[in-house]
C-alpha cells in the first residue's frame, strides 16, 4: 500500500510547469480524396499532446510551437500524415483512405490507449461499418459472427430478440464463473445475463436430468442499440485483459458509442424495411395406411383416408413456421456542437416480428452523449441511454408437456384436424397440445426498462511539451427493471390435463450495477523525445445488486392472466449483492515506435470469496518490435512487427456458491427446513488464467495487404468444478479447484485490397482460427455433464481430454459402465470467414461475409422427436439399409424405414463417423452471414434536386443468413442451443424452430 | 496551478485511502445456512428439521413408483415427451446409468442426509430433554431406514452405502444381505429410541400422520417398515414378532396407515402421482384383462378415454388408465393395513408347516372386502404363495411391490409382457448411477 502512495507522490514530484515556446496560429482545411471536408480529423503537434480536431467543414486552427513544428493528421480509416509547418500559416491537407487499420487507437489499459501499429496483442476491433454497415443486426452480439478471429459465437435459436453464446479462445470456465465475456459500454460494466421467467416450469422442461435453466431467453446485451456503437474492441485472452483482473477470464468486450464531433449540426435519418422467413423445413413425410398399420395405430386409417379425400391433409410445420416476419427499423440522430460542447443524440425504434405469429422484438432507445470542456484543463462527458425492449419469444426448445410447438409439431400428423371451429374452439391434438392454440393464445413476454449512464471527468493537471499528467474519474450505472409474463390460458388442452388448470407467472427483475474508477496517467518524453513513457495508476470499485420476485399461479378462471387471481400459488424472492475492488498500475514505454513495452499489475478482492479482504494479484507484460523501423527491409514490406504478451486474469465463483442454504419445505400443513444437495466450500479460490500470446503483423505493398498472425497458449488453473460426489450420500456436489486446462490456438487475419483504382476497389478479408482445449489436471472423479443422458450424448470431464468432448452410448466395453463411444468435440476443428467489399461505379458498394465452421459435434434430440412422430422428411425412405434394431440389415427384407432405424443408438459407422440415430452427429456449415448492395446518390445530383437541404442519401438492400450449406440432417440448424449460455452443454438441439433468413431495404438520409 | 494539482491529487489519494478500508462480507440474503443447526440447535430448529424429514419422505416418490412399476410391468408411463420410459426401462434399448430415471436411486440420498443431520444436531445440543432427543432420533432413523429400503429395492444386488455421514468418505456399497441387515439396524435403533421418547412428540406431525402422532403410535409405523425388511430377509420368525407390533387390524379399514400429505401451494407441492397433460400412467391389459369378475380393485383404473396407444420407440396399447389419484391434495399411503394383512398371510404360508387355513382366512378378508368370493383352501405352499402374490398384485397396484415380489420369489420370468416386437425384457435391477461408479473409480 505504501508503495502506491509513494507513486502518487512521484507523480506530484514530476510536475514541471515548463515554459511555452514561441507560438504561431496555423489554420487549414483537411479534405478527403473527393475534395469534401473531413470533420473529426485529429490534428496534433508532434511531440506534444496539444492539438485539435477539424470541424464539420474539415477546417482547423492550432497553435504551433517549437522551433520546427510538425503537425500530425490522423483519422480512423485514413493514413496518418505528418506535415512540417515551415513558414506557412495555412495548410491544405488531403487524406487518403487507409484500408489497413494500423493507425486506429486501441485500448492498452484501464486509462490508456495505443496505436494498433504499436500494439502487442491481437485485439479484434469491430467498427460501426463492420457492425451495422452491411446489414442491420437484431442485437450487437449477433453481428459478431464471422468477424472476430478466435471467437466461437453460437446463436441459441432463431426467435426474434437474439440469444447468443460467445466464447473467446476456447473454454475459460467449466461453468462456475462467467462463461460470457465482460461487456463494458462507455466505461459502464453492463449486465449481460439471461433473466429467468419461469417458462421452463410452465412447460415442465426443467423436470429431466438436465439441471440448467431452459427458459431460452435473450441475453441482455440485446438491450443495446447496435446503431449507437462507434467501435468495439475485443480483448480475447488474459494477456490483453489482465488489467481487468478477476472478471476477465472469458475476455472483455469494450464498446464505445458514438459521440458528437462538433461543427455544424447534422441530422441523419435511417429506415430499414424488410422481412424474414424460414431457411428450410424439416418434416413432410407422407402418411399411408400401410405406415399406420406397420408402425403406428391402424385405427387411424379412416381418419387418414378422410383427410386425404376432403383436402384437409395439412403440413402443420409450414402452418406454424411458414410465415414471414417483418422488419421495421427507424432511427434519427442529431450531432453537433461547438468548441466547448459536443453532443450526439440518437433515437431509434427496432421492430421485428418472427416467422411465427405472435413472436417479435421491439426496442425503443434514446441516447444522449454530451461532452463539455469546462476549462482548458478540465472536461466532462456523459453518456445516457434509456432503452425499452419488448420481446415475445414464443414457445420453442425442450418441453415436457407438448406445449412448445417445436416439440409438438414433430409428432403432429398431417391428417389431424387442428384448425379452430367457427366459435374459436381449438380441437384437441392427439399429441397432447394443439400448436395453433399455443401460437394464438399462450403468452411468453418479457419487457425491460433499462438505463445506462456513464460519466467521465478528466483533469489535465500538467500539459507541456515533455510531460502531461491527467487525473480521470469515470464510471457509471446500469439500471435494469424487467417484467415478464408467462400465461397458459385455462382452455388450452395441456392445461385441461392438469389438476389446476391455467398457468400464469409474473416475474420482476431489478438489476443495478455500478462501477467507479479513478486513475492518474502520467506521460513523459525522455531522451530527446525518443522515449515516451506512460504511467497509469488507479483503483476501481464495482458492485451488483439484483432482486427478482415472482408469483406463479395455477388454477385460473377462463380469461384471467393475473397469477394473483389463481387458486394455487408459488412465489419467491431472490436477492443478490456483491462488491469488487481493484487497484492497478501500468507502465508503458515506447522507444521511437521501434520498441513498445508495457508491464502492469492488477490487484482484486471481492465479496464473492469467503475471505473478502484477500487481494489477488494479476501481472502482465508485453513487448512489440517494429522491425521495419530497425532494419531495412525489401521495398514491398511496409510494416513488420513481432509481438509477445503475457498476462493473468481470474474468474469468480457465482453468487451463492459460498452458502449451503436450508430450504423451506412444507408438508401436511407444517413447514420445515432441509439442505440442498449442493455443499458450499469456503476454501474456493478464483479460477486463474495465464496466457502467453505471440505473433507477427506485417503490411505489404504500402499496406495494401496487411496480416496479423497470432498464436496463444491460455492455461486456466484451479477451475471451479463440482466435485461430483456419490449422490446416494444426499450431496451431489461441492465446489473444488481441482481442474486445470489449456487452450492453444491460432488466429490469422488478412486484409488485402486486391484491386484499387478509380473505377473499382475490391477488398478481401479472410480470417482463420482454431482452438484446442485439454484438461491437464483433474483431481475429482471424471464426470458427464450437460445434455439429456448418455443415450443422446453428454460432455465428459476427463483428464487428458478436451472438456468439450462429447461421448455417449453405446459402451465400447459393455462390462465397463464408463467406456463411452467418443463422438468428437463441440468445438469446431477450425473456423474460417471471408469478408469482401467491392466498391464500383464510384457510388456502389457490395459486400458479403461468408462464415464456415468445420466439423463440430451437436447433441441433437430434434431428429429423435421427428422420427418418433413419423414426420421426418426422409422417414419413409429405406436408404439407410438398417433394420429395426438400427443395425445394417444383412437381409434386405429386414430393412425398415429410416425413421424407425434411427430410433436406436447406432454409434459410429464403419467409416468412423457417427451413424444416423439417437447419438450425436458431427457436422459443418457455411453460411452467407451478411450480404449487401448500397448506392450513394452523388452529391452533385442531390445539390441539383434539393439545393443544400439534403447532404447525403444512401439506399441499399441487404440480408443475413441468406444462404446456408450444411451436412447437418439431425435438425433445423446446427447452431441451435437449448441451454443458452452454459459454459458446457450448450449446443443441444431439441424442440427447435427453423433457422431464419432476414432481408431488408435501407435508406439513410443526412440533412 | 500547483494548488490545483495538489488539490486534485489530494482528492485522489483520499479516495484511494477510503478504498483501502476492508470490505464487509455478504451473508446469505436468501436463507439460513446448514451450519446454523450444527451446534446447540433449539427445539424450534429441530422441529423444522424433523418436519422436513416427513416432507423428504416424499422425495422421488413418483419417479420411484413409476420406474419400479414399469420394471415390474404392472404399469407404464405413456409419457408423451419422453420415450425412454418405454424403451430403456423395458429392455428395448441399453439402460443408461446417466438418465433421469436414476432418480429412483439417487433421490433417496437427501432423506438419508436429513436424518444424519438431525442425528448429529441432536448429539450436539443441550437445549432439549433426553426424551425429546430420543423422539427426534427415533423419527430420523425410521425415515432413514425407509429411504434406504427404496434405494436398495432399485439397486438390489448392487447394494447401498450404509455410512454416508461424511459425504466425502462414504462407505462402499454393502452386499444385498448386508444392506438389508443395515437397514433393519437403523429401524430397530429407531424403535428403541421411540420407546425412550416419552408419551408425546415435541413437535406437531403433518396431517397424514395424525394417527401416528405419538412415539408409541409412530413406532407401529416403524415396525411395519421393519416387517417389510424382515420378509425381504426371509426372516419369518422376526416377521412373526414384528407383525404384532404394527398397526395391523384385521377388522379395520384396509387403507388405514400413515400417509404422505400434499398441497399444491408452495412451499408444499401437489400429489405427484396424478396423470397430467404429458404423463399418462396406464395399467397393462395383461393385468386387468385377467382380473376376476366383480373385483372392486378394477376401480384403480378406468377405461374412459381409452384405448391408450403408445407409438414412440415401441407400440403398446391398453384399455386401462390409472384412476387412483384424482386431486392435488389426495394423500398417498406409505404402508397400509391391507399390506400388513397380506404379509401376515405370507408369514403363515412360510412357516415350516404352512398354515393354509390362516392364509385363506387372511386373504379372504381382502377378497370379501373387494367383492370377491372366498378362496379355495390352498393345499401346497406354492399355491398359497401364488394366491398371495395375486392378491398383492391388485391390492398393492402402483405401490411399488410387483417387481420386488416377483424378484424375491424368483418369478421374474413369469411376469406377463405386452405383445411387442421386439419383445420387452424385465430388468432385475438398475445399474449403479454413473456418479456412484465414477466416485468409486477415483476413490478406490
Concatenating the DSSP letter of every residue in A464-520 gives SSSEEEEEEEEEEEEEEEEEEEEEE-TTSHHHHTSSS--EEEEEEEEEEEEEEEEEE
Chain A residues in contact with B275 (beta carbon < 8 A): 497
Average pLDDT, integer, range A868-897: 92
Q: Are the Cβ atoms of B437 and A817 closer than 8 angstroms?
A: yes
All structural domains of chain B with their residue ranges: 336-409
* pLDDT tens by residue, A439-455: 999 999 999 999 999 99
Cβ burial, residue A876 (10 Å; 0-12/13-18/19+) = middle
Would you tell me which residues 775-804 of chain A have a C-beta closer than 8 angstroms to some C-beta of chain B?
A: 780-784, 788-791, 794
Q: A741, A687 in Cβ contact below 8 A? A: no
At how many degrees (to 10) do helices B130-155 and B43-56 cross? Answer: 20
**pLDDT value of position A102:** 60
Residue length of chain A: 1007
Is the confidence at residue A522, as pLDDT, over 70? yes
Task: Tell whether A296 lies on the interface with B, counting CB pairs under 8 A.
Answer: yes
CB contact under 8 A, A518 and B84: no
Burial of A702 (0-12, 13-18, 19+ CB in 10 A): middle
Q: Quick one: which of A733, A746, A856, A859 has its CA closest to A802?
A: A856
Q: Is A297 helix (H, G, I), strand (E, B) or coil?
A: coil
Task: Reply yes or no on whether the pLDDT at A208 is more than 50.
Answer: no
Sequence-separated (6 or more) residues with CB below 8 Å from residue A716 = A171, A172, A173, A249, A651, A687, A688, A689, A740, A741, A742, A743
| Chain A interface, best mutation among B7, B109, B161, B278, by max A CB count within 10 A | B278
Does the beta-carbon distance from B266 to A666 stay under 8 Å?
Answer: yes
- Which residues of chain B neighbour A407 with C-beta distances below 8 Å? 81
Q: For the purposes of burial, counting CB atoms within 10 Å of the CB of A375, is it exposed (0-12), middle (13-18) or buried (19 or more)?
A: exposed
Compute the mean pLDDT over every residue in chain A, rounded to the nearest whole number: 87
Contact (Cβ atoms closer than 8 angstroms) between residue A639 and residue A699: yes
CB contact under 8 A, B94 and A669: no
Q: What is the pLDDT of residue A10?
A: 41
**Total number of residues shown for chain B:** 444
Q: Over the stretch B124-135, which tens digit does the pLDDT of each residue have? A: 999 999 999 999
Closest chain A residue to B54, measured at CA: A667
> What pLDDT score was predicted for residue A8?
44
Give the one of A605, A673, A809 whose C-beta lies nearest to B23's C-beta. A605
Q: Is A317 left (phi over 0), alpha (psi -120 to 50) or beta?
A: alpha
- Suggest the residue from A670, A786, A790, A985 to mutate for an interface test with chain B (most B CBs closer than 10 A): A670
The answer to whether the Cβ–Cβ distance between B264 and A499 falls below 8 Å is: yes
Taking a C-beta distance cutoff of 8 angstroms, is the pair B302, B320 a contact? yes
Collapse the DSSP code of A574 into the 3-class scheme (helix H, G, I; strand E, B; otherwise coil) and give the result: strand
How much is the average pLDDT of A783-791? 85
Percent of chain A predicted with pLDDT > 90: 50
Secondary structure letter of residue B411 according to DSSP: -
CA distance A3 to chain B (A): 13
pLDDT at B19 exceeding the cut of 80 = no
Q: How far is A944 from chain B (nearest CA, A)?
A: 55
pLDDT digits (tens, 9 = 90+) for B313-350: 889 999 999 999 999 899 999 999 999 999 999 999 99
Instruction: Calculate mean pLDDT across residues A29-43.
Output: 77
d(CA B79, CA A103) in angstroms, rounded, equals 62
Angle (nearest 5°) at CA A770 between A764 and A775: 165
How would DSSP label each residue in B33-62? BGGGGSSS--HHHHHHHHHHHHHHTTTTHH
Fold of domain B336-409 = 1.25.40
Give the tens place of pLDDT for each residue, B252-310. 999 999 999 999 888 898 999 998 888 999 999 999 999 999 999 999 999 998 899 99
Distance separating the N- and C-terminal Cα atoms of chain A: 55
Question: What is the interface size between A and B, counted as CB pairs within 8 Å?
Answer: 351
Question: Measured between CB atoms, which of B207, B274, B317 is closest to A499?
Answer: B274
Q: What residues does A956 pair with on adjacent strands? A: A934, A1002
Kindly state whether A659 is in contact with chain B, defined as any CB-CB distance less than 8 angstroms: yes
Contacts A788 to B, Cβ<8 Å:
99-100
Which residues of chain A are within 8 Å of residue B31 when distances are taken between CB atoms? 659, 661-664
Residue A109 has pLDDT above 80, yes or no: no
CB-CB neighbors (< 8 A) of B277 in chain A: 401-402, 432-433, 493-498
For residue A611, the distance in angstroms to the closest alpha carbon of chain B comes to 8
Query: Residue A921 forms beta bridges with which residues?
Result: A858
Mean pLDDT score, A452-464: 90
Q: What is the pLDDT of residue A733?
A: 85
Q: Which of B13, B313, B436 sits opposite A8 (nearest CB)?
A: B13
CB contact under 8 A, A499 and B51: no
Q: Residue A211: pLDDT above 50?
A: no
What distance in Å separates the CA atoms of residue A628 and residue A640, rounded to the nearest whole number? 5
Q: Max Cα separation, chain B?
A: 116
* B158–chain A nearest CA distance, Å: 13
* Mean pLDDT confidence for A330-358: 93
Q: Average pLDDT for residues A761-777, to the nearest whole number?
A: 94
Tell whether the model's pLDDT for residue A671 goes beyond 50: yes
Q: Taking CA atoms, what residue in A is nearest to B105?
A: A728
- Per residue in B205-233, pLDDT tens? 999 999 999 999 999 999 999 999 999 99
**Cβ <8 Å between B99 and A581:** no
A540-563: pLDDT as tens digits: 999 999 999 999 999 999 999 999
**In Å, how far is B362's CA from the nearest CA of chain A?**
33
Positive or negative torsion for Cα A52, A56, A60, A61: negative
Confidence at residue B91, expressed as pLDDT on a 0 to 100 scale: 92
Domains present along chain A, CATH in parentheses: 22-98 (2.60.40.1120), 125-280+322-403+442-653+674-864+922-1006 (2.40.170.20)
Kindly tell me if the per-residue pLDDT of A300 is higher than 50: yes
**Cα separation of the two ends of chain B:** 73
Judge whether A924 and A853 are in contact, CB under 8 Å: yes
Are B276 and A570 inside 8 Å of each other by CB? Answer: no
Range of weakest confidence among A260-269, A306-315, B344-353: A260-269
Q: Which three cell numbers stand for residue A140?
A: 450487437
Show residues of chain A in contact with B265, CB under 8 Å. 568-570, 666
Would you place residue A15 in the very low, low, confident or very high pLDDT band (cuts 50, 70, 90)? very low
Contact B112 A728 (CB under 8 A): yes
Cβ separation A499–B327 shorter than 8 A = yes
Segment A280-296 mean pLDDT: 93
Q: Tens digit of pLDDT for each residue in B73-119?
A: 999 999 988 889 999 999 998 888 888 899 999 999 999 999 999 99
Regarding predicted confidence, which is higher, A10 or B354? B354
Mean pLDDT confidence for A327-337: 93
Distance from the Cα of A286 to chain B's closest Cα (Å) equals: 17
Tell me the average pLDDT across A36-53: 78
CB A116 within 8 A of CB A101: yes
d(CA B18, CA A540): 12
Q: How confident is the model at residue B18 (pLDDT cuts 50, 70, 90)?
A: low
Is A400 near chain B, with CB under 8 Å? yes
Span B168-191, average pLDDT: 96
CB contact under 8 A, B33 and A659: yes
Alpha-carbon distance A708 to A326, whole Å?
Answer: 40
Q: Which of A117-121, A325-329, A405-409, B167-171 has the lowest mean pLDDT?
A: A117-121
DSSP reduced 3-state for A206: helix
pLDDT at position A127: 85
Q: Spell out the residues 6+ positions from residue B314 whose beta carbon is closer than 8 angstroms to its own.
A: B83, B86, B87, B90, B92, B420, B424
Which has the closest alpha carbon to A967: A854, A828, A827, A878? Answer: A854
pLDDT digit string, tens, across residues A925-982: 999 999 999 999 888 888 888 877 888 899 999 998 999 999 999 999 998 887 777 7
Cα angle vertex B195, ends B189, B199, to 5°? Answer: 145
A window 703-732, beta carbon within 8 A of B: 724-732
* β-pair type (A42-45, A70-74): antiparallel
DSSP conformational letter for B180: H
DSSP state, residue A900: H
The residue-averaged pLDDT of A328-355 equals 93
Q: How many other CB atoms are there within 10 angstroms of residue A893's CB atom?
A: 7
- ipTM reported for the complex, 2 dp: 0.87
Residues 6+ apart with CB under 8 A from A694: A642, A643, A644, A645, A710, A711, A712
Please report the pLDDT score of residue A288 as a whole number.
95
Among the residue ranges A71-85, A344-358, B323-337, the one predicted with the least confidence is A71-85
pLDDT at position A551: 92
Helix (DSSP H) and strand (DSSP E) numbers for chain B: 15, 8
pLDDT at A783 over 90: no
CA distance B318 to B334: 28
* Least confident segment among A87-101, A108-122, A276-290: A87-101
Chain A interface test: which of B11, B32, B277 (most A C-beta within 10 Å) = B277
Quick check: B208 and B335 in contact, CB under 8 A? no
Residue A945: CB partners within 8 Å, gap ≥ 6?
A: none
pLDDT at A176: 65
Residue of A nearest to B12 (CA): A518
C-alpha cell at A944: 441539383
Residue whose C-alpha cell reads 468428437 in the numeric block: A824
Mean pLDDT of A306-334: 94
Residues of chain B neighbouring A785 (CB-CB closer than 8 A): none
Amino acid at each position: 500500500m505504501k508503495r502506491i502512495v509513494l507513486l502518487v507522490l512521484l507523480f506530484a514530484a514530476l510536475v514541471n510547469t515548463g515554459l511555452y515556446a514561441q507560438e504561431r496560429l496555423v489554420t487549414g482545411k483537411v479534405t478527403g480524396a473527393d475534395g469534401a471536408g473531413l470533420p473529426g480529423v485529429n490534428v496534433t503537434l508532434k511531440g506534444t499532446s496539444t492539438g485539435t480536431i477539424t470541424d464539420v467543414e474539415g477546417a482547423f486552427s492550432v497553435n504551433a510551437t517549437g522551433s520546427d513544428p510538425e503537425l500530425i493528421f490522423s483519422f480512423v480509416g485514413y493514413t496518418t500524415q505528418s506535415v512540417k509547418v515551415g513558414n506557412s500559416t495555412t495548410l491544405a491537407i488531403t487524406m487518403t483512405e487507409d484500408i489497413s487499420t494500423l493507425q486506429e487507437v486501441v485500448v492498452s489499459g484501464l486509462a490508456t490507449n495505443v496505436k494498433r501499429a504499436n500494439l502487442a496483442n491481437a485485439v479484434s476491433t469491430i467498427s460501426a461499418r463492420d457492425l451495422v454497415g452491411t446489414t442491420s443486426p437484431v442485437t450487437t452480439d449477433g453481428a459478431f459472427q464471422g468477424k472476430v478471429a478466435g471467437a466461437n459465437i453460437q446463436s441459441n435459436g432463431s426467435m426474434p430478440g437474439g440469444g447468443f453464446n460467445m466464447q473467446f479462445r476456447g473454454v475459460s470456465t467449466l461453468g462456475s464463473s462467467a462463461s460470457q465475456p465482460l461487456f463494458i459500454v462507455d466505461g459502464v460494466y453492463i449486465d449481460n445475463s439471461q433473466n429467468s421467467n419461469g417458462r421452463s416450469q410452465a412447460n415442465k422442461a426443467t423436470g429431466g436430468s438436465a439441471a440448467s435453466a431452459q427458459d431460452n431467453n435473450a441475453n441482455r446485451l440485446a438491450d443495446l442499440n447496435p446503431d449507437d456503437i462507434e467501435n468495439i474492441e475485443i480483448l480475447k485472452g488474459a494477456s490483453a485483459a489482465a488489467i481487468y483482473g478477476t472478471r476477465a477470464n472469458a475476455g472483455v468486450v469494450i464498446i464505445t458509442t458514438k459521440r458528437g464531433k462538433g461543427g455544424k449540426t447534422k441530422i441523419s435519418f435511417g429506415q430499414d424495411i424488410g422481412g424474414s422467413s424460414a431457411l428450410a423445413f424439416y418434416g413432410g413425410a407422407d402418411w399411408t395406411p400401410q405406415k399406420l398399420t406397420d408402425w403406428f395405430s391402424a385405427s387411424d386409417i379412416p381418419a387418414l383416408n378422410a383427410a386425404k379425400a376432403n383436402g384437409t391433409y395439412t403440413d402443420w410445420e409450414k402452418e406454424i413456421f411458414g410465415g414471414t416476419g417483418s422488419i421495421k427499423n427507424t432511427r434519427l440522430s442529431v450531432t453537433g456542437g461547438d468548441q466547448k460542447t459536443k453532443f450526439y443524440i440518437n433515437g431509434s425504434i427496432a421492430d421485428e416480428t418472427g416467422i411465427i405469429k405472435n413472436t417479435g422484438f421491439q426496442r425503443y432507445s434514446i441516447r444522449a452523449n454530451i461532452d463539455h470542456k469546462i476549462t482548458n484543463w478540465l472536461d466532462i462527458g456523459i453518456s445516457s441511454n434509456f432503452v425499452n425492449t419488448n420481446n415475445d419469444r414464443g414457445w420453442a426448445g425442450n418441453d415436457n408437456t407438448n406445449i412448445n410447438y417445436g416439440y409438438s409439431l414433430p409428432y403432429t400428423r398431417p391428417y389431424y384436424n387442428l384448425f379452430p371451429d367457427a366459435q374459436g374452439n381449438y380441437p384437441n391434438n392427439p399429441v397432447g397440445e394443439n400448436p395453433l392454440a399455443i401460437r394464438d393464445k399462450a403468452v411468453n413476454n418479457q419487457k425491460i426498462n433499462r438505463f445506462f449512464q456513464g460519466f467521465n471527468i478528466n483533469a489535465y493537471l500538467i500539459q507541456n511539451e515533455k510531460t502531461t499528467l491527467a487525473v480521470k474519474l469515470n464510471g457509471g450505472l446500469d439500471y435494469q427493471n424487467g417484467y415478464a409474463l408467462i400465461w397458459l390460458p385455462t382452455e388450452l388442452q395441456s392445461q385441461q390435463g392438469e389438476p389446476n388448470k391455467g398457468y400464469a407467472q409474473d416475474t420482476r427483475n431489478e438489476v443495478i450495477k455500478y462501477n467507479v474508477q479513478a486513475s492518474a496517467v502520467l506521460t513523459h518524453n525522455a531522451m530527446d523525445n525518443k522515449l515516451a513513457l506512460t504511467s497509469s495508476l488507479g483503483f476501481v470499485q464495482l458492485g451488483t445488486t439484483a432482486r427478482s420476485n415472482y408469483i406463479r399461479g395455477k388454477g385460473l378462471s377462463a380469461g384471467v392472466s393475473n397469477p394473483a387471481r389463481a387458486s394455487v400459488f408459488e412465489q419467491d424472492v431472490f436477492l443478490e449483492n456483491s462488491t469488487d475492488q481493484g487497484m492497478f498500475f501500468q507502465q508503458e514505454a515506447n522507444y521511437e515506435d521501434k520498441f513498445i513495452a508495457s508491464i502492469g499489475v492488477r490487484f482484486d478482492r471481492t465479496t464473492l470469496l469467503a475471505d473478502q479482504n484477500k487481494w489477488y494479484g494479476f501481472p502482465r507484460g508485453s513487448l512489440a518490435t517494429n522491425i521495419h523501423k530497425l532494419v531495412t527491409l525489401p521495398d514491398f514490406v511496409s510494416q513488420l512487427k513481432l509481438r509477445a504478451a503475457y498476462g493473468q486474469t481470474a474468474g469468480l465463483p457465482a453468487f451463492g456458491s459460498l452458502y449451503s442454504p436450508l430450504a423451506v419445505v412444507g408438508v401436511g400443513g407444517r413447514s420445515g427446513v432441509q439442505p440442498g444437495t449442493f455443499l458450499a466450500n469456503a476454501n474456493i479460490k478464483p479460477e486463474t488464467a495465464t496466457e502467453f500470446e505471440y505473433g507477427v503483423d506485417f503490411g505489404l505493398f504500402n499496406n495494401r495487404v496487411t496480416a496479423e498472425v497470432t498464436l496463444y497458449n491460455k492455461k486456466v488453473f484451479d477451475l471451479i468444478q463440482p466435485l461430483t460426489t456419490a449422490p446416494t450420500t444426499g450431496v451431489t456436489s461441492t465446489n473444488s479447484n481441482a481442474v486445470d486446462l489449456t487452450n492453444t490456438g491460432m488466429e490469422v487475419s488478412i486484409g488485402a485490397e486486391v484491386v484499387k483504382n478509380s473505377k473499382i476497389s475490391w477488398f478481401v478479408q479472410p480470417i482463420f482460427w482454431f482452438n484446442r482445449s485439454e484438461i491437464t489436471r483433474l483431481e475429482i472423479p471424471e464426470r458427464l455433464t450437460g445434455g439429456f443422458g448418455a443415450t443422446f450424448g453428454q460432455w465428459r470431464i476427463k483428464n487428458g481430454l478436451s472438456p468439450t468432448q462429447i461421448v455417449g452410448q453405446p459402451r465400447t466395453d459393455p462390462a465397463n459402465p464408463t467406456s463411452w463411444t467418443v463422438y468428437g468435440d463441440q468445438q469446431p476443428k477450425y473456423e474460417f470467414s471471408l469478408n469482401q467489399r467491392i466498391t464500383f461505379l464510384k457510388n456502389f458498394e457490395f459486400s458479403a461475409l461468408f462464415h464456415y465452421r468445420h466439423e463440430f459435434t451437436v447433441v441433437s434430440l430434434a431428429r429423435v422427436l421427428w422420427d418418433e412422430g413419423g414426420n421426418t422428411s426422409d422417414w419413409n425412405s429405406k436408404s439407410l439399409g438398417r433394420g429395426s434394431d438400427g443395425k445394417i440389415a444383412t437381409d434386405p427384407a429386414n430393412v425398415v424405414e429410416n425413421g424407425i432405424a434411427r430410433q436406436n443408438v447406432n454409434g459410429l459407422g464403419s467409416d468412423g463417423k457417427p451413424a444416423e440415430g439417437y447419438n450425436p452427429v458431427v457436422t459443418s456449415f457455411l453460411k452467407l452471414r451478411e450480404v449487401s448492395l448500397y448506392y450513394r446518390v452523388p452529391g452533385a445530383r442531390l445539390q441539383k434536386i434539393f439545393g443544400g437541404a439534403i447532404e447525403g442519401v444512401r439506399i441499399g438492400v441487404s440480408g443475413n443468413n441468406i444462404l446456408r450449406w450444411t451436412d447437418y440432417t439431425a435438425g433445423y440448424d446446427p447452431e441451435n442451443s437449448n441451454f443458452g449460455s452454459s459454459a458446457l452443454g450448450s449446443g443441444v438441439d431439441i424442440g427447435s424452430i427453423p433457422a431464419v433468413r432476414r432481408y431488408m431495404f435501407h435508406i439513410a438520409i443526412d440533412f | 496551478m500547483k494548488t490545483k494539482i495538489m488539490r486534485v491529487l489530494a482528492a485522489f489519494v483520499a479516495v484511494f485511502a477510503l478504498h483501502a478500508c476492508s470490505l464487509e462480507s455478504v451473508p446469505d440474503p436468501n436463507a439460513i445456512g446448514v451450519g446454523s443447526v450444527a451446534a446447540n440447535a433449539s427445539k424450534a430448529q429441530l422441529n423444522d428439521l424433523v418436519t422436513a424429514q416427513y416432507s423428504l419422505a416424499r422425495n422421488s416418490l413418483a419417479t420411484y413408483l413409476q420406474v419400479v412399476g414399469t420394471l415390474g410391468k404392472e404399469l407404464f408411463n405413456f409419457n408423451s415427451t419422453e420415450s425412454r420410459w418405454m424403451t430403456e426401462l423395458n429392455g428395448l434399448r441399453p439402460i443408461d446409468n446417466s438418465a433421469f430415471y436414476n432418480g429412483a436411486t439417487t433421490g433417496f440420498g437427501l432423506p438419508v442426509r436429513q436424518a444424519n443431520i438431525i442425528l448429529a444436531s441432536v448429539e450436539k445440543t443441550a437445549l432439549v430433554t433426553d426424551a425429546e432427543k430420543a423422539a427426534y432420533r427415533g423419527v430420523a432413523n425410521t425415515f432413514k431406514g425407509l429411504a434406504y429400503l427404496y434405494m436398495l429395492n432399485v439397486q438390489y444386488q448392487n447394494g447401498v452405502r450404509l455410512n454416508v455421514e461424511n459425504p466425502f468418505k462414504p462407505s462402499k456399497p454393502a452386499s444385498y444381505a448386508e444392506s438389508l441387515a443395515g437397514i433393519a439396524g437403523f429401524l430397530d435403533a429407531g424403535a428403541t429410541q421411540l420407546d425412550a421418547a416419552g408419551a408425546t412428540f415435541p413437535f406437531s406431525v403433518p396431517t397424514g400422520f395424525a394417527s401416528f402422532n405419538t412415539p408409541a403410535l409412530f413406532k407401529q409405523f416403524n415396525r411395519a417398515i421393519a416387517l417389510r425388511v424382515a420378509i425381504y430377509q426371509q426372516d419369518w420368525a422376526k416377521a412373526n414378532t414384528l407383525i404384532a407390533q404394527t398397526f395391523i387390524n384385521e377388522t379395520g379399514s384396509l387403507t388405514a396407515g400413515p400417509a404422505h400429505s400434499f398441497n399444491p401451494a408452495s412451499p408444499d407441492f401437489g400429489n405427484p402421482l396424478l396423470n397430467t397433460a404429458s404423463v399418462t400412467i396406464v395399467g397393462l391389459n395383461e393385468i386387468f384383462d385377467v382380473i376376476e369378475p366383480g373385483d372392486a380393485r378394477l376401480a384403480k383404473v378406468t377405461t374412459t378415454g381409452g384405448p391408450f396407444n403408445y407409438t414412440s420407440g415401441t407400440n403398446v396399447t391398453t384399455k386401462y388408465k390409472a384412476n387412483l389419484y384424482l386431486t392435488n391434495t389426495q394423500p398417498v399411503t406409505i404402508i397400509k393395513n391391507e399390506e400388513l394383512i397380506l404379509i401376515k398371510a405370507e408369514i403363515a404360508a412360510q412357516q415350516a408347516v404352512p398354515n393354509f387355513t390362516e392364509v385363506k382366512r387372511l386373504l379372504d378378508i381382502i377378497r370379501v372386502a373387494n367383492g370377491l368370493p372366498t378362496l379355495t383352501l390352498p393345499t401346497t405352499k406354492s399355491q398359497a404363495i401364488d394366491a398371495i402374490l395375486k392378491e398383492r398384485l391388485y391390492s398393492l397396484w402402483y405401490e411399488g411391490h410387483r417387481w420386488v415380489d416377483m424378484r424375491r420369489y424368483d418369478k421374474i420370468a413369469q411376469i406377463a409382457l405386452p405383445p411387442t416386437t421386439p419383445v420387452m425384457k424385465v430388468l432385475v435391477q438398475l445399474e449403479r448411477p454413473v456418479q456412484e461408479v465414477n466416485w468409486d473409480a477415483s476413490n478406490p
